[in-house]
């Protein structure tokens, strides 16, 4: 039986949005995916190519979508500094919400994807485990501005909102610069091709810090739960795998997966050292019959360098979601290996 719910997913081609669409379709939802480059329609899913920074274009694209019941917002616009992130990311959310609200009389819920930046995790050592009730920090921070916008907009409305706060997300997506698992897989594959051991490239302290991740599938199910569970309405939730790890334990296991030895960490910016490896990757693509499409060029080395620079603990308390009824967890080691297996099956890496 078809689910009468209709989801609008903004950021449909990202790690988070793409996996969320899979989950929605599996549960019978009808989905409209928004992104700059659109996508080929498939059963249960239609795509619209739209620049969400363009208010008129967004309004025009959403005008026919009168049956939307849920908005899942996972779009993101990068900028060179923290302050520069605020205006475009707030504007995109406003354009989507206002465009949908004007036509969608059955709108029930708006889900906002956030992250640990709400707690100041990107600025330096912060209170851990972070909790949804923690005090805010000095702006600018676009995640906070977006949530405050939804809180104000929701007053006297029949729809509710939720804010979902994952850690670093592990999932399958190409062309997304915030895919840590893919960055690791390509870095390991290049190390293997050069006959080198796998060295941790981050700050020395990052090798010992406590860290957690969030599996994209688990995140999709948690996001859908929060959007449909009355007890979760108008609240924020940390969503994580449920376990903690240190790179000094995980890194040797990743090296073993790729058949590599481990050498002592050596701080190096992947954005720099991987810059001249394009020709090597081209030869690996030809030798191993890898999928064309420039996985090396699409890899977000800057984001990987950012994650590997965290020489302080990076984790949050996921207990609130469990107390409200979401009880899933994922083993992070198995998550990494499952993603690496997918990359190999799809001929993304040798």
Residue 322 lies in a domain: no
Q: Check residue 293 and give its pLDDT.
A: 64
320 domain residue, yes or no:
no
275 shares its domain with 302: yes
Q: Are 34 and 151 within one domain?
A: yes
DSSP per-residue letters across 28-47: T-EEEEEESS----BTTEEE
pLDDT over 70 (residue 175): no
CATH of the domain at 121: 3.40.50.720
Task: Tell whether 321 is covered by a domain.
Answer: no
Residue 322 phi/psi, 5° resolution?
Answer: -65, -40
Is 349 inside a domain boundary? no
Do 184 and 90 share a domain, yes or no?
A: no
Q: pLDDT exceeding 70 applies to what percent of the chain?
A: 97
Does one domain contain both 64 and 196?
no
pLDDT digits (tens, 9 = 90+) for 107-131: 999 999 999 999 999 999 999 999 9
Confidence of residue 177 (pLDDT cuts 50, 70, 90): low
Q: Are residues 248 and 103 in the same domain?
A: no
348 falls within a domain: no
Q: Are residues 86 and 20 part of one domain?
A: yes
Residues 6+ apart with CB under 8 A from 261: 197, 198, 255
Same domain flag for 181 and 162: no
Mean pLDDT, rounded, for 156-165: 98
The pLDDT score that the predictor gives to residue 1 is: 44
Give the rounded percent of residues in the chain with a pLDDT score beyond 90.
93
What does the alpha-carbon distance between residue 57 and residue 204 come to, in Å, rounded to a whole number? 47
Q: Dump pLDDT digits (tens) for 69-100.
A: 999 999 999 999 999 999 999 999 999 999 99
State pLDDT tens for residues 272-300: 999 999 999 999 999 999 987 667 877 88
- Give mean pLDDT, residues 5-13: 97
Full residue range of the structural domain in which residue 134 is found: 6-169+215-239
- Please give the mean pLDDT across all residues of the chain: 95
Residue 107 lies in a domain: yes
* Residue 190 pLDDT > 60: yes
The DSSP string of 111-165 is EEE--GGGGTTTTS---SSB-TTS---SSP-HHHHHHHHHHHHHTT-S-EEEEEE
pLDDT tens for residues 18-77?
999 999 999 999 999 999 999 999 999 999 999 999 999 999 999 999 999 999 999 999
Structure-derived torsion over alpha carbons of residues 97, 103, 161, 21, reported in degrees to the nearest 10: -80
Rounded distance between C-alpha atoms, residue 168 and residue 247, angstroms = 14
Do 123 and 55 share a domain, yes or no? Answer: yes
Residues 13-17, mean pLDDT to the nearest whole number: 93
Does 284 map to a domain? Answer: yes
**Domains contained in the chain, number:** 2
In this structure, the answer to whether residues 221 and 287 fall within a common structural domain is no
Token pair for 137: 């920090």
Residue 1 maps to a domain: no
128 and 194 share one domain: no
| One domain for residues 94 and 134 | yes
Question: Do residue 144 and residue 195 come from a single domain?
Answer: no
């Amino acid at each position: 039986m078809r689910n009468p719910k209709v989801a609008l997913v903004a950021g449909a081609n990202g790690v988070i949005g793409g996996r969320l669409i899979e989950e929605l379709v599996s549960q019978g939802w009808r989905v409209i995916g928004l992104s700059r480059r659109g996508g080929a329609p498939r059963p249960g899913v239609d795509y619209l190519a739209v620049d969400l920074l363009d208010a008129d274009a967004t309004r025009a694209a959403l005008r026919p979508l009168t049956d939307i019941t849920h908005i899942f917002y996972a779009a993101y616009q990068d900028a060179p500094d923290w302050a520069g992130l605020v205006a475009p990311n707030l504007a995109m959310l406003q354009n989507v919400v206002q465009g949908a609200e004007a036509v969608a009389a059955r709108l029930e819920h708006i889900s906002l994807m956030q992250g640990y930046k709400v707690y100041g995790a990107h600025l330096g050592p912060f209170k851990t485990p972070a909790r949804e009730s923690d005090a805010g920090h000095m702006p600018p921070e676009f995640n906070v501005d977006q949530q405050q916008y939804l809180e104000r907009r929701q007053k006297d409305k029949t729809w509710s909102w939720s804010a979902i706060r994952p850690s670093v997300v592990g999932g399958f997506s190409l062309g997304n610069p915030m895919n840590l698992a893919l960055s690791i897989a390509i870095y390991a594959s290049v190390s293997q091709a050069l006959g080198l051991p796998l060295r941790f490239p981050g700050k020395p302290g990052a090798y010992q810090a406590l860290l957690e991740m969030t599996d994209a599938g688990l995140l999709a199910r948690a996001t859908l739960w929060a959007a449909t569970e009355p007890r979760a309405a108008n609240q924020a939730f940390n969503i994580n795998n449920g376990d903690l790890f240190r790179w000094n334990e995980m890194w040797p296991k990743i090296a073993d997966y790729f058949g590599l030895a481990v050498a002592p960490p050596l701080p190096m910016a992947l954005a720099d050292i991987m810059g001249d490896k394009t020709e090597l990757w081209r030869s690996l693509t030809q030798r191993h019959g890898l999928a064309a499409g420039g996985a090396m060029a699409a890899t977000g080395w800057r984001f990987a360098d950012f994650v590997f620079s965290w020489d302080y603990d990076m984790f949050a308390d996921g207990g609130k979601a469990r107390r409200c009824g979401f009880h899933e967890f994922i083993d992070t080691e198995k998550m990494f290996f499952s993603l690496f297996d997918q990359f190999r099956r799809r001929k993304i890496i040798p």
